[in-house]
Amino acid sequence: MPNPQPTLGFVLNDVARLLRKRFEQRARCLGLTRAQWQVLAYLSANEGIHQGGLADLLDIEPITLVRILDKLEVAGMVERRRHATDRRLWLLYLTPAAHPMLARMRLLGDATRQEALEGLSDEERAQLLHMLTTMKRNLLDACDRPVETADAQA
């Protein structure tokens, strides 16, 4: 008999999907794709990272990232700089033109989160963030350990 109650994983997935969907509805006016705004957001917190490292953070293939970066570079929002000692690496930086776009994205993100958290007190919001952060840390630690054979067969 199927479980009528949704599991934590399904609810988290739905919440993440709906947050992205609502943000995209708000962000259409910016003229960026979801992939482009995700690259800008991650790059803003990791300027000077090389392309492979950013691809890893975004969990996308490096060739996919190269295509996104090409478009952002043409739009004047991202620049590639050669690594000082390794000519094979390109380091990524935001241009001054990207900062106003990021500010607008942050405002749209704030409004989207406000909608999602409506009805929760400041204390409940803090607890939710704490619990999700703990879950994330637990899973990051678990991903660094091998899966036991019994777990994989279950």
By CB atoms closer than 10 A (0-12, 13-18, 19+), residue 79 is middle
CB 53 within 8 A of CB 146: no
Q: What is the pLDDT of residues 52-68, one digit of tens each?
A: 999 999 999 999 999 99
Dist CA 43 CA 51 (whole Å): 10
Q: What is the pLDDT of residues 90-131, one digit of tens each?
A: 999 999 999 999 999 999 999 999 999 999 999 999 999 999
Closest among 87, 79, 91 to 53, alpha carbons compared: 91
Predicted TM-score of the model (pTM):
0.76
